[in-house]
Structure 1
Amino acid sequence: MSGVPATRIVSVNVNGIRAAVRKGMTEWLDAANVDILCLQEVRATATELATSLPGWELVNSEALLKGRAGVAVAARVAPDAVRTTLPGDETDAAGRWIEADFTIGGSTVTVVSAYVHTGEAETPRQDLKWGFLDAMTARMPILRAASPLSVIMGDLNVGHRELDIRNWKGNRGKAGFLPRERAYFDCWLGPDGETVECVDGTTGTGMGWVDLGRRFAGEVDGPYTWWSMRGRAFDNDTGWRIDYQLATPELAAKAQSYSVFRASAWDTRWSDHAPVIVDYDL
């Protein structure tokens, strides 16, 4: 370590920013020492977001339908540049993708807050998800070439491996754990430039990005980031790991620590998702 304080970058699906703030998100933020915060499912206008998070520099992308989706980046300093479109996506990407460039330690660091469609197997909703995942795949090498210190984070709505879902056997044919969905991750995270054998039986080319959650946690179940609000899923830790920080190898080399903030009890949660926290030595 260099002795310079780490830059803490956090991602969380807030399930509605106004509701999250009412339930205690502000108190958590006050204690968490966050430098950059990527939000998904904001479900608010820019004015409502600013009211909910006073004192932060905010950029956002609203969904076309009021009260749906929405992504944002909140930071202690204003970004140098912002992009709110995902090139190549022919679906409704509004409210689902935002890129922000920051100058940190003399280098450009690009953070992306992404909210991938939930999907539904063999329906038009899944077609939207395929289109979005295709556009992400096309964007990732371009993003890395332009900004080697890049991280794509957020609710990506796919459990990559069996370790990422407690009840994976019961979800093999459902959106979020379809082999074709998981194959995208196989390629994104495969060795850079090498042929990758994907879980759906296809082959692809590895892109070299790093799943920081799996790198730090190792070969263990979870740590999960989402639990259904129904039943006793949270109490029983019957969860899914669908929230990620996927970093370029260049940025991953600077990651110091990774954690998931799991609330102490069901009734203390301010979202059905948990914040994903990474400290970087920048």
Structure 2
Amino acid sequence: MLRVATFNVNGIRATQKRGFTDWLDERDCDVVALQEVRCPVPMLPDGVFGQYHLSYDAGQLAGRNGVAILTREQPLDVRSWGAGALVRAPGDAHVELREEGELDALARELKAFTTEGRYLEVDLADKPLTVASLYLPKGGLPAELQADGKNGRDKPDGGAKYQRKMRFLKGFARHLTKARRTAAAQGREFLVMGDFNIAHTEHDIKNWKGNLKSEGFLPEERAWLDEILSPRTLVDVVRRLHPDEDGPYSWWSWMGQAFVKDSGWRIDYHFATPKLAKLATSGGTDRAETYEARMSDHAPVVVDYDF
């Protein structure tokens, strides 16, 4: 059995204080993908990752982004888009820098994101599996849907954040195809996990009618997920396990009664190659029992694979 989790921690230092290390010990995962680690390597809390090997692209934006993958054994290979990945063994203060692959091979739309700590990919040493951790840009609204900024939302930007996200989506679709095919050529399955910042269907957001013109649930964003998912390419593993349910949601606002009322969004995913997806035996969201027990505004999404 292979237990795999993805978790947007929204700052590892804050999440550790709320019980991250205890969760990590109790869940006993084999692989954990993390997003929004938001911590320079020298400031990572001591012992926060226990006995796991750490692969980490912190990016170059102070206090923002950062993706990591925790594994039982040191991966065979580690690949990032930017200034390389930092690789550290359990209890080892030494950090090894693994250089990234040729940037010429990266989709041109993604080259503007290479220093932001948004994507990391590893080849497991003990399983024929390539695992990726993604933090996809949140984006914004197209210009025609933006208000005057007086309603407390982001100030109008002429659709700049929206256009930036759409460029990322265009390039990342090609990147996924290439990564999946590269893994297959090496006899490996492929699994990309993380915070995609898009709710796919009406089952993936509590108040879907009220969010039809909200970033993260725009028709063009949802159509992009339609394009990358199929029975022959990548499969939404948790939705396959829970085909007709609302949720299980993975993100709730810190504000108001969103968490108490379970008014959430499902935006954190396991997207797996079809053979691997069929091996998933159980999975869902580790939703905290109370608001006070939350580690992050996201919850871990954990899946067991008979792999």
**TM-score computed with the length of structure 1 as normaliser:** 0.88
For 2:169 and 2:55, locate their aligned partners in 1 and report how far apart those are by CA, in whole Å: 23
Contact kept in structure 1, 2:131 and 2:190, CA below 8 Å: yes
For 1:146 and 1:178, locate their aligned partners in 2 and report how far apart those are by CA, in whole Å: 31
Q: 1:50 deviation in Å? A: 6.2
Q: Distance in 1 between matches of 2:259 and 2:250?
A: 10
What are the within-5 Å matches in structure 2 for residues 47-58 of structure 1?
47-49=42-44, 51=46, 52-58=48-54
Alpha-carbon shift at residue 104 of structure 1 (Å): 2.8
Deviation at 1:42, TM superposition (A): 0.3
Match of 2:183 in 1: 147
Q: What secondary structure sits across from 2:281 in the alignment?
A: strand
Tell me the distance in 2 between the aligned counterparts of 1:150 and 1:50. Answer: 30
Q: What corresponds to 1:168 in structure 2?
A: 208
Tell me: CA distance 1:125–1:169, structure 2 relative to 1, closer, same or farther (3 Å): same
**CA deviation digits over 1:114-141, x for unaligned, max 9?**
0000111122112221122112200122
On the 8 A contact 2:36/2:66 being kept in 1, the answer is yes
RMSD (Å) for aligned C-alpha atoms: 1.4
Structure 1 residues 238 and 112: alpha-carbon distance in aligned structure 2, compared to 1, 3 A threshold: same
Q: Alignment partner of 2:250: what SS? A: coil
Question: Percent of counterpart pairs with the same letter?
Answer: 42
- Encode CA deviations 1:27-59: one digit per residue, 9 max, x unaligned: 111110111110000001223336332432111
> 1:50·1:58 contact (CA, 8 Å) conserved in 2?
no
**What per-residue deviation string (whole Å, max 9, x for no partner) do you get for residues 139-192 of structure 1?**
122111111311110000000001101011111111100111011111111344
Q: State the distance in 2 between where 1:144 and 1:90 align.
A: 20
Give the Cα separation in 2 of the matches to 1:26 and 1:263.
Answer: 15
In structure 2, the residue matched to 1:37 is: 32
SS in 2 for 1:246: strand
Distance 2:112 2:162 in 1: 11
Picking from 221, 231, 251, the partner of 1:226 is 251
Q: Which deviations, in whole Å up to 9, do the C-alpha atoms of 1:233-261 show, x marking residues without a partner?
A: 00000000000000011221222221210
Q: Equivalent of 1:100, from 122, 125, 132?
A: 122
Q: Kindly tell me: are residues 50 and 280 of structure 1, through their superposed partners in 2, closer, same or farther at Cα, counting changes over 3 Å? A: farther
The change in CA–CA distance for 1:50 and 1:111 in structure 2 (over 3 A counts) is farther
Q: Which position in structure 2 is the counterpart of 1:80?
A: 76
Count of paired positions: 260
Amino acid aligned to 1:90? K
CA positional deviation for 1:62: 1.5
Bigger mean CA deviation after superposition, 14-23 or 133-142: 133-142
Aligned residue among 125, 129, 138 for 2:161: 125
1:54 & 1:135 partners in 2: Cα distance? 35
Give the alignment partner of residue 59 of structure 1, picking from 55, 58, 61: 55
- Bigger shift: 253-262 or 28-37? 253-262
Structure 1 SS opposite 2:284:
strand
Alpha-carbon distance in 1 for matches of 2:205, 2:291: 19
Equivalent pair of 1:43/1:70 in contact (CA under 8 Å): yes
Aligned amino acid, residue 99 of structure 1: E
Structure 2 regions of 5+ residues with no counterpart?
A: 82-102, 143-158
Runs of at least 5 residues in structure 1 that lack an aligned partner in the other structure: 1-5, 193-207
When the two structures are superposed, what TM-score results if normalisation uses the length of structure 2?
0.81
Q: Is the 8 A contact 2:196 2:268 kept in 1?
A: yes
Kept in 1: contact 2:119–2:134 (CA 8 A) = yes
Check the 8 A contact 2:74/2:125 in 1, yes or no.
Answer: no
Contact 2:231 2:274 in 1 (8 A): no
Superposed CA offset, 1:51-96 (max 9, x none): 3324321111112211001100111111111111182113324211
8 Å contact 1:13–1:39 — kept in the other structure? yes
Name the aligned partner's letter for residue 100 of structure 1: V
The structure with more radius of gyration? 2
Equivalent residue of 1:279, what SS? strand
